[in-house]
Structure formats: structure tokens, C-alpha cells
Amino acid sequence: MEPKPLLVCVVGPTAIGKTALSIELAKAFATEIISADSRQFFKEMSIGTAVPSPEELAAAPHHFIQNLSIEDEYSVGDFERDTLVLLESLFQKHSIVILVGGSGLYVDAVVKGLDTFPEVSSEIRESLVSELEEKGLAHLQQELKEVDPTHFEKVDIQNPHRVIRALEVFRASGQPYSSFLNAPNAKRPFNTLHIGLSADREIVYDRINKRVDLMIEAGLVKEAEALFPHRQLNALQTVGYRELFGHFEGELSLEEAISEIKKNTRRFAKRQGTWFRKNENIHWFDYTTPTEEIVTFVNTKSTQIP
């Protein structure tokens, strides 16, 4: 019986070097890259989402990079479906394919399948939206902290859509959102190998701060200004844009907005770490590890997985 094809998942916190490693792996195995970074799907958002440069994109075939508009509704379920269809095609040409991204939920959706959640009525959703408008996000954050402290620690609590989603599931079922997570894994027609990049927290935070400075130099403020009229869209409830929208609305000085971007990105990296540490199947490498060493590791592992 022929061995199953292998999906190599490159994961880790933001700004750690996943893009560079994924390209080197794709070149080493003459294969293609699927992006599982939910912030890089949207073509109007380049600078603030650290989309790979034209040179990086040309170095290996990429999929799901700037393939959508911010006007498009696109869920993790849509991504799971589209990626499985794409993988079926790619595995006819390649025995190994690279999946890369810091969006742990999107990686897990492809590898393990999504959890099943209860139906939520439109009345519950509309009620929560009204509460957000009348009482503010802090009110909903406090409720989530009380009813589901486990999910509160993991979710992006600055993203109103994520907070509302968790609360609507709770109100519909009477059970915390986190209780519906971690259903039995779906069976996939491929094997999976997780490669994680890591560094000391101080190094990660320093890399984040420097990346934000580079984004500002590259024109992030102008990019966010062009998107400001669409700020209510789900795609734009994203670190790097929300803070600048606050600046445009007069709530923050530019200096304060930049500081908030750095702080919230560091918080995001911390949540990524919490998510990925749950996965005991990740093989961790220091971010300075030579690519050749990781290529050798993948080669060795690929022959050992049945």
C-alpha cells in the first residue's frame, strides 16, 4: 500500500519567521504552500497583515494569499472545505505540501476538523449586537469572563465578533463555548507533521515591535485610512487596523495607536503560544535553527510515519 501524502504544518507566534521557513521547505521539497493565516486572505490588507513580499511569493507557489475581498464573508468552515479540495489536487502532484500560519484554529480545522456547535437564533445574535452598541465591548467581555473563563483566556477579547460568537453559543445552550471544543478528530487521507518555531518571549516581543515600526514606515497608516470607511466589516476587526481606526476617530494620538498595536500584537502572540502549547504533536525548533536541519528532520519523519 502506498504511503499517505504528508502535510507539513509550520506554526508559531507572529513575527517568528514562519514565512521564510515555509518557503525554504517548499523549495527543498519542490512543493507548494497553503497559507492558514486568516488575516492574509484579504487583498485590501497587505502591510498590516505582513503578506509575503512579491519576491517571497515568486519563490514558491502560494495559495489563499489575498484571494478574497474584505466584503466577502469567509469562515473557518469555508477554509476547511476549500483547503481539503485543494489538497486533493496538490497531493496528486506532490507527496509533501506545506501549510503555514499562526491562526491555530484554521490549522486545526484542516488537520482535525471543526467542532460542532449548537444552532443560535437570530434573536440571540441581535440581542448581543444591541448590547454591544448600548453597553460597549467591556460589558460583553466581563460576561464572557464570568461564564467561560477558559475561552476568555484564549480568544481575542478585543474582537467583538469573537466575543459575541462565544456568548451567543452560551446563551443558546447554557453551556460554555469551550465545552464544545476538542471533538474527536476527523479522519484525513493524509498524514500530518507539525513544525513549530519558538524563541524566548523577550525576543518574540522585540521582533513584533520592530515589525510594527517597519509596517508604519511601509505605509500602514495610509492603508488603514483607505479602509476606514469599511471599519465595521469583520475582516477589519484586526490588530493593526482597529487601533488606527481609533486614531482616525480622535480617540488616540498616532503615537498611542502605534503603541497599542505593539501591545495588542504581543497579546496576540501570547494567545498563539497558549493555543499551540496544547498540541503535543508539535516538534519545536528555535527560530535560529538552520533550515537544513529542519529539512533533514522532515525527511526522516516522513519515512517513519505509516
How many domains does the chain divide into? 2
Residue 257: inside a domain: yes
Task: Give percent of the chain with pLDDT exceeding 90.
Answer: 79
Residue 222: inside a domain: yes
Shared domain check, 228 and 91: yes
What global pTM score does this model have? 0.84
Q: What is the dihedral of CA 195, 299, 86, 90, to 10 degrees?
A: 160
Residue 24: inside a domain: yes
Residue 185: inside a domain: no
CATH number at residue 196: 3.40.50.300
Shared domain check, 166 and 85: no
Shared domain check, 218 and 100: yes
Residue 234: inside a domain: yes
Q: Are 14 and 269 within 8 A, CB to CB?
A: yes
Reading the block at residue 4, the C-alpha cell is 499517505
Residue 81: inside a domain: yes
Reading the block at residue 264, the C-alpha cell is 495588542
CA 12 to chain centroid, in Å, comes to 10
Shared domain check, 240 and 127: no
Residue among 245, 269, 273 nearest 50 (CA): 269
pLDDT tens-digit series, residues 176-199: 998 888 666 789 999 999 999 999
pLDDT tens-digit series, residues 240-276: 999 999 999 999 999 999 999 999 999 999 989 988 9
CA 87/CA 249 separation, integer angstroms: 43
Shared domain check, 270 and 243: yes
Reading the block at residue 139, the C-alpha cell is 460589558
Q: Within 10 A of 232 (CB to CB), how many other CB atoms are there? A: 8
Residue 1: inside a domain: no
Shared domain check, 200 and 170: no
Positive or negative torsion for Cα 160, 164, 76, 190 = positive
pLDDT tens-digit series, residues 50-74: 999 999 999 999 999 999 999 998 9
Facing residues of 285 across strands? 197
Shared domain check, 214 and 108: yes
CATH number at residue 164: 1.10.20.140
Range of the domain at 59: 6-115+190-304
Shared domain check, 109 and 11: yes
| pLDDT for res 209 | 98
Shared domain check, 166 and 27: no
DSSP state of 70: T
